[in-house]
Structure 1
């Protein structure tokens, strides 16, 4: 079963990225599920998901964690296993992962990923799949958060839009706090197949994705991944 992941720099919903995810499933009208845990299930965010989905050929779903056993009779794993693609939204990565772990959602997502459900998302929704990265989930300053390690590399979203992100990411790799990894500008995405980079796609020619690592002289190398503009 092919394992697929599409990650991008910003958590904002866009037609091209969600359409790309839908088409990656190979289904004519796939079940596409949005998980907005990181935003506290912000209603405007959910509404924007449905608005984007109305423009592509999918059946939209939203997985909410603020539930009770009287009203919800399906487990999170049962819901997730019925989906063809899952997109995770932006927000507080640390809080999201803590809730997922408490509810077993992290385990359910890994099982679905291994079974061919296409995963993806931006911001918190991209960071969560990697071994670690920088997050604004804690007070005062950007700090490191560990992810679920679907891809055993580090990650940096918002690479071009938040001035502190790029130099901090470089420094954390140089000092060994983070492994080498992947960075995405807000409007650029990376498509992984079986844990390896398949391609990069972008919404315009100004946003890019990168593999960032140390060379033999301990210098940062920022290797741009060739991308295709999608509309």
Structure 2
């Protein structure tokens, strides 16, 4: 885990969904992230490191946010059409949105390019940090990941949020069973499990609320008690405009 003091600021951690699904459906969670930025035309930078800077992922981002934000993509693999930008450009953003893919690879590449310190500074200055799947995992101390093939515990996150995170909680086979087992055994610390199309909003390291853009998308705080793990449901606020 990166030895950084936890930065102040707002983080929105999505368990799945958002703009990245194909075919694209407007995302209420993404709209809420823009509202949190509190800017007429927010500057939003997408970081697709976890996918190896897959071009299609960046294109989906740009298409989804076109007309609503001033968009940019930080490509640490120097991919066309974006090339390479100095990561300090993140300090100029209202929102930094991290895509999914390999959590382990994302963390390794970010550290080589100095992103943990830059992201902490951006957050402390008021930039909203957001991310989906691996882009959720990265902010925690630890997480459930398939970066190595089979699902495995990873205790190597940035630590911007204490404890562990588990995205895709009910949306992917074995996610729930494995995560409960790792918390019960102590392989992962207590943490948050977030289903597809749901998210948690954290501020200064504390939970503000859980939100969802579809019904029946639960969020849990999972904690160890003796030799077992307890799922504690967190009240989820349905965002305005969500189907009932």
In the superposition, the TM-score normalised over structure 1's length comes to: 0.91
1:10 aligns with 2:16: yes
Shift of 1:2: 5.8
Match of 2:23 in 1: none
Shift of 1:150: 0.1
| Higher mean C-alpha deviation, range 5-14 or range 153-162 | 5-14
Match of 1:64 in 2: 75
Take 2:62 and 2:176, find their aligned partners in 1: how far apart are those partners? 32
Number of residues of Structure 1 aligned to a counterpart in Structure 2: 225
Match of 1:142 in 2: 151
Match of 2:162 in 1: 152
CA separation of 1:12/1:205 partners in 2, compared to 1, >3 Å: closer, same or farther? closer
C-alpha RMSD of matched pairs (Å): 2.0
- The residue matched to 2:153 in structure 1 has which SS? strand
Take 1:127 and 1:197, find their aligned partners in 2: how far apart are those partners? 16
For residues 26-175 of structure 1, the aligned pairs below 5 Å read 26-54=38-66, 57-67=68-78, 75-77=86-88, 79-139=89-149, 141-145=150-154, 146-175=156-185
CA contact (8 A) 1:8 1:186 kept: yes
CA contact (8 A) 1:5 1:119 kept: yes
Take 1:74 and 1:134, find their aligned partners in 2: how far apart are those partners? 30
Q: Deviations over 1:125-147 (max 9, x none)?
A: 000000011111113x2122221
Match of 2:193 in 1: 183
Take 1:47 and 1:74, find their aligned partners in 2: how far apart are those partners? 17
Match of 1:210 in 2: 220
Take 1:73 and 1:168, find their aligned partners in 2: how far apart are those partners? 38
CA contact (8 A) 2:18 2:29 kept: no
The unaligned stretches of length 5 or more in structure 1 are none
Shift of 1:219: 3.5
Take 1:196 and 1:73, find their aligned partners in 2: how far apart are those partners? 34
- The residue matched to 1:163 in structure 2 has which SS? coil
Take 1:99 and 1:73, find their aligned partners in 2: how far apart are those partners? 14
CA contact (8 A) 2:17 2:197 kept: no
In the superposition, the TM-score normalised over structure 2's length comes to: 0.86
Q: Deviations over 1:60-97 (max 9, x none)?
A: 111111239xx9796212x0000011110000111111
The unaligned stretches of length 5 or more in structure 2 are 1-6, 20-25
Q: Deviations over 1:28-56 (max 9, x none)?
A: 1110111001111112111111121026x
